C-alpha cells in the first residue's frame, strides 16, 4: 500500500473514532440527548428544550425529543385554578363530616361504601393534587394517541358512577378522549336504566352498552373493549375519581412503546367519609400472596428510580385501572372469557404481557382515586356461594364473632340483612373450590377453615391448609354437613351453643343446616368428587 493512501485511511479512521466516542460530538452526544439526566424510562424528563442545548428555558412551551417529536405541558391550568377555588362537602378531597344518621348500616348495604355521603358530595368535586412535585415539570408528546375509557358496572350507586364520569371529563384533555363506554353488567337497579340514559344523553362522548345476562366484570370489560374505537383502551372501575393530568402520562408511555401496559397510582377514597388519600408508601410494586390475593410490596432500594416520579416496572397489576394499546390488547387475546365474575384476570393479563414481549409500568404522575369497599355488596352466582348457615333445629346461625383462631365455632342468633351486619358478626361463609368452608365473602375470605379432628370433637376454625382431610366437607341432600374423614356430621346444642361432630343422624333437626343464597347447582359442584 502506498504511504499516502495509508495516511488517508488512518485520518478517516481517526475522524470516525472521534465521532463515535468523543463527548459532545457524534453518537455519544446523540445518546445523551435522549437520556440527558440519566433517567431511563422517564420520558417526561428525557427532554431537550428546543431553545438551545442545556438551557432549561421554561417560557418555551414546545420541546423536542431526540427524533424531532414535539413535547408539551399538558396541564390544564384553567381547570386546576377552578378546582382550587371550590369549597363545600368533600371538596379538595377532605373528609365529609358524617352525622350519626349517615353512619348507619343501611348506607353501606347496596354498595359496600357509604352512598349517603357520596350523594352529599358534588359530582364535580375537586381532589388534592398529591402527585410528586416533579410531575408539574413533566412534558409529554404533543401528539398522543386517543383513548376509549371503559367502565364496567354492576348495580353501581348513582353518584359514585356519575362522579367517575365527571372526574374523567373534568380532568382529561377532550381531544384525548375518543369516548367513554359505560358497560352495564345486567344491573337491576332502576336508576341505572332510563335515568342513566337520559342523563348521559347530555354528554355526546358517553355511550352505554349492556350485557344480556350477568357476565361478571371480565366479560363485561371485554364487551366494552370490543366496541371501543380509540387507539388505546383505558379501564376504570365504576367508583373512581381521576386526579390532575392523569391521562397524558399514561398515553405517553404507550406512544413510546405500544407494548407497555400502564397503570396509574391508585389512591384511596375512604368508604366512610370519602376523604381522598394516597395508599401507604408509593415505592411499592404489585405482587400476590399464596391465596392469589393482590398485594403491594416495597421496591428494593437498588431498583428504585433516582427520580421517584418516573415510571417503574411492576410484575402484576391491581387489576381495575390501566391503559393498553387497543390492538396490543387483542394481540394478547384480551382476557380469558372463561373467567367468572371477579378476580384472577389481573394476573392473566399481567403474565401474558411479560411473556409476549411487553412490559408493565406504574406511573407515579398519573393518579386515580378508587373506593375500596367495606364488603362486597353483590351476589356472586357461580361456583362459590356467600351464605349464612342456619341450623334447622335451633333456628340459630353458625357464627365466628368470638372465633379466635383455634377456638370452637358457635351458634348465635342470625343477624338480619345482608351486608355489614352479617359481615361484622362473621356470619358470612364461603364454600371454596378446595371444598373447605371459610368465613367471609368469596372475594375476601379469611384464611381459616372449618376443621374437625374426630367424630366427637368440636368444630373449630383452623389455618386453612387446602389439603382436604380434616377440612373437607360435603353438604348433602338431607341437609347434613358431612365430614368424610371422620364419617360424621356437624351437630349442635341449643343449651350451650356448641357446634360439634356427631354420628350422622339425618332425622335429627340439629344436624340439618340451611345455606342461604345457595342453589342446587352450586352444591352439586361443591359435592362433586
Ligand atoms: C379489584 C380491582 C377490580 C378487579 C378485581 C379483580 C382495582 C381498583 N379494582 O377489585 O377492577 O380487577 O380486583 O377482579 O384494581 N363489576 C361488574 N360485574 C360484576 C362485578 C363487578 O361489572 O359481576 C364491575 C364493578 O362495578 C366495578 C368493577 O367491575 O366497576 C370491579 O369490581 P369491584 O369494584 O367490585 O372490584 P374491586 O375494586 O374490589
Ligand atoms: Mn372497585
Q: In this predicted model, what pLDDT tens digit does every residue of 356-390 receive, in sequence order?
A: 999 999 999 999 999 999 877 777 664 455 578 89
Judgement on whether residues 300 and 419 belong to the same structural domain of the protein: no
pLDDT tens digits, residue range 303-315? 899 999 999 999 9
- Condensed to tens digits (0 to 9), the pLDDT of residues 191-226 reads 999 999 999 999 999 999 999 999 999 999 999 999
CA atoms within 13 Å, Cβ hemisphere of 394: 23
Of 19-33, 131-145, 273-287, least confident by mean pLDDT is 19-33
Average pLDDT over residues 154-169: 98
Which whole number is the average pLDDT over 428-442? Answer: 83
Atom of ligand 1 nearest to the CA of 443: 39
Number of domain units in the chain: 2
Per the CB < 8 A criterion, the answer to whether 403 and 87 are in contact is: no
* Domain, as residue range, for 212: 77-371
Q: What is the pLDDT of residues 47-66, one digit of tens each?
A: 333 333 333 434 444 555 66
Which of the two residues, 470 and 280, has the higher pLDDT score? 470
> The CATH number of the domain where 406 resides is what?
2.80.10.50
Torsional class of 515: left (φ above 0), alpha (ψ -120 to 50), beta (otherwise): beta
3-state secondary structure of 354: helix
- Confidence bin at 526 (pLDDT 50/70/90): low
Q: What is the mean pLDDT of residues 410-434?
A: 75
Report the pLDDT value the prediction gives residue 367, as an integer from 0 to 100: 98
- Cα gap 196→213, rounded to integer Å: 19
Say how many Å lie between the CA of residue 20 and the centre of ligand 1.
52
- Ligand 1: residue whose CA is nearest its atom 23: 216
Report the predicted TM-score, pTM, of the whole model to 2 decimal places.
Answer: 0.76
Q: In a mutational test of the pocket of ligand 1, which residue from 238, 320, 380 has the highest number of ligand atoms less than 8 Å from its CB?
A: 320
Nearest-angstrom CA–CA distance, 150 and 78: 27
Phi/psi at 74 (5° precision): -90, 0
pLDDT, one tens digit per residue, over 473-510 is 998 889 999 999 999 999 999 999 999 999 999 999 99
Percentage of the chain exceeding pLDDT 90: 65
Rounded to whole angstroms, how far apart are CA atoms 275 and 371? 10
Q: Which three cell numbers stand for residue 301?
A: 432500594
Statement to judge: residues 367 and 396 lie in one domain: no
- What was the pLDDT predicted at 50? 37
Q: Starting from the CA of residue 377, give the closest ligand.
A: 1
Whether 343 and 443 share a structural domain: no
Do 225 and 345 reside in the same domain of the chain? yes
List the beta bridge partners of residue 475: 481
161 within domain boundaries: yes
CA dihedral 201, 203, 206, 208 (to 10 degrees): -20
Q: Using a 6 Å cutoff on CB, does residue 365 contact ligand 1?
A: no
Instruction: Classify the C-alpha dihedral 94-95-97-102 as positive or negative.
Output: positive
CATH code, domain with 349: 3.90.550.10
In a domain, 11, yes or no: no
Q: Residues 228, 153: one domain? A: yes
d(CA 139, CA 125): 26
Which has more pLDDT, 435 or 6? 435
Locate 209 and state its grid cell.
352498552
Is 428 part of a structural domain of the chain?
A: yes
Highest mean pLDDT, choosing among 96-100, 279-283, 398-402: 96-100
Q: CA torsion, points 187, 192, 198, 202, in degrees to nearest 10?
A: -100
Considering only residues 227 and 373, tell me which one the structure prediction assigns the higher pLDDT: 227
Boundary residue ending a domain (371, 397, 430): 371
Residues 359 and 397 in one domain: no
Across 168-176, average pLDDT: 98
DSSP per residue, 458-508: BPEEEE--SS-GGG--EE-TTS-EEETTTTEEEEE-TTT-BEEEE---TT-
Choose one of 152, 221, 237, 344 to mutate for the ligand 1 pocket test, by most ligand atoms within 8 angstroms of C-beta: 237
In DSSP terms, 341 is beta-bridged to 216
Asked if residue 182 and residue 238 are part of one domain, the reply reads yes
Check: CB of residue 410 under 8 Å from CB of residue 439.
no
CA distance 68 to 358: 25
Q: 314 and 409: one domain?
A: no
Amino acid at each position: 500500500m502506498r504511504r499516502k493512501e495509508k495516511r488517508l485511511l488512518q485520518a478517516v479512521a481517526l475522524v470516525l473514532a472521534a465521532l463515535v466516542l468523543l463527548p459532545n460530538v457524534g453518537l455519544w452526544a446523540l445518546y445523551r440527548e435522549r437520556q440527558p439526566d440519566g433517567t431511563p424510562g422517564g420520558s417526561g424528563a428525557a427532554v431537550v428544550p428546543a431553545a438551545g442545548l442545556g438551557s432549561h428555558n421554561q417560557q418555551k412551551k414546545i420541546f423536542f425529543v431526540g427524533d424531532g417529536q414535539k413535547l408539551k405541558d399538558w396541564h390544564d391550568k384553567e381547570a386546576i385554578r377552578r378546582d382550587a377555588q371550590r369549597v363545600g362537602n368533600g371538596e379538595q378531597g377532605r373528609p365529609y363530616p358524617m352525622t350519626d344518621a349517615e353512619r348507619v348500616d343501611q348506607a353501606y348495604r347496596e354498595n359496600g361504601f357509604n352512598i349517603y355521603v357520596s350523594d352529599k358530595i358534588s359530582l364535580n368535586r375537586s381532589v388534592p393534587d398529591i402527585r410528586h412535585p416533579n410531575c408539574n415539570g413533566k412534558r409529554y408528546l404533543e401528539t398522543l394517541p386517543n383513548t376509549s375509557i371503559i367502565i364496567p358496572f354492576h348495580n353501581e350507586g348513582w353518584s359514585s358512577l356519575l362522579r367517575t364520569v365527571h372526574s374523567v371529563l373534568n380532568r382529561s384533555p377532550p381531544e384525548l378522549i375518543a369516548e367513554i363506554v359505560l358497560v352495564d353488567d345486567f344491573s337491576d337497579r332502576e336508576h341505572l336504566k332510563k335515568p342513566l340514559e337520559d342523563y348521559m344523553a347530555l354528554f355526546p362522548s358517553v355511550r352505554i352498552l349492556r350485557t344480556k345476562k350477568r357476565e361478571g366484570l371480565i366479560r363485561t370489560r371485554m364487551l366494552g373493549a370490543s366496541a371501543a374505537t380509540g387507539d388505546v383502551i383505558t379501564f376504570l372501575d365504576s367508583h373512581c375519581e381521576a386526579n390532575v393530568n392523569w391521562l397524558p402520562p399514561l398515553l405517553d408511555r404507550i406512544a413510546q412503546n405500544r407494548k407497555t401496559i400502564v397503570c396509574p397510582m391508585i389512591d384511596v377514597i375512604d368508604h366512610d367519609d370519602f376523604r381522598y388519600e394516597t395508599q401507604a408508601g408509593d415505592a411499592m410494586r404489585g405482587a400476590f400472596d399464596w391465596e392469589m390475593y393482590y398485594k403491594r410490596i416495597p421496591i428494593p432500594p437498588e431498583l428504585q428510580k433516582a427520580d421517584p416520579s418516573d415510571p417503574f416496572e411492576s410484575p402484576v397489576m391491581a387489576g381495575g385501572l390501566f391503559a393498553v394499546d387497543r390492538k396490543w390488547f387483542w394481540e394478547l387475546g384480551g382476557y380469558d372469557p372463561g373467567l367468572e365474575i371477579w378476580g384472577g384476570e389481573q394476573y392473566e393479563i399481567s403474565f401474558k404481557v411479560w411473556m409476549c414481549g411487553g412490559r408493565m409500568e406504574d406511573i407515579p404522575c398519573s393518579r386515580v382515586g378508587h373506593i375500596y369497599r367495606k364488603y362486597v355488596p353483590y351476589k356472586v352466582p357461580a361456583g362459590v356461594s356467600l351464605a349464612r348457615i342456619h341450623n334447622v333445629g335451633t333456628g340459630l346461625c353458625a357464627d365466628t364473632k368470638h372465633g379466635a383462631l383455634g377456638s370452637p365455632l358457635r351458634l348465635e342468633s342470625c343477624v338480619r340483612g345482608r351486608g355489614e351486619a352479617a359481615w361484622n358478626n362473621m356470619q358470612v361463609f364461603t364454600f371454596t373450590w378446595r371444598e373447605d368452608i371459610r368465613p367471609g365473602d368469596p372475594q375476601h375470605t379469611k384464611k381459616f377453615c372449618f376443621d374437625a379432628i374426630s367424630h366427637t370433637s368440636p368444630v373449630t376454625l383452623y389455618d386453612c391448609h387446602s389439603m382436604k382431610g380434616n377440612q373437607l366437607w360435603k353438604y348433602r341432600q338431607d341437609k347434613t354437613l358431612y365430614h368424610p374423614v371422620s364419617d360424621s356430621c356437624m351437630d349442635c346444642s341449643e343449651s350451650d351453643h356448641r357446634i360439634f361432630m356427631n354420628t350422622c343422624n339425618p332425622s335429627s333437626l340439629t344436624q340439618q343446616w340451611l345455606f342461604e343464597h345457595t342453589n342446587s347447582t352450586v352444591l352439586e359442584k361443591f359435592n362433586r368428587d
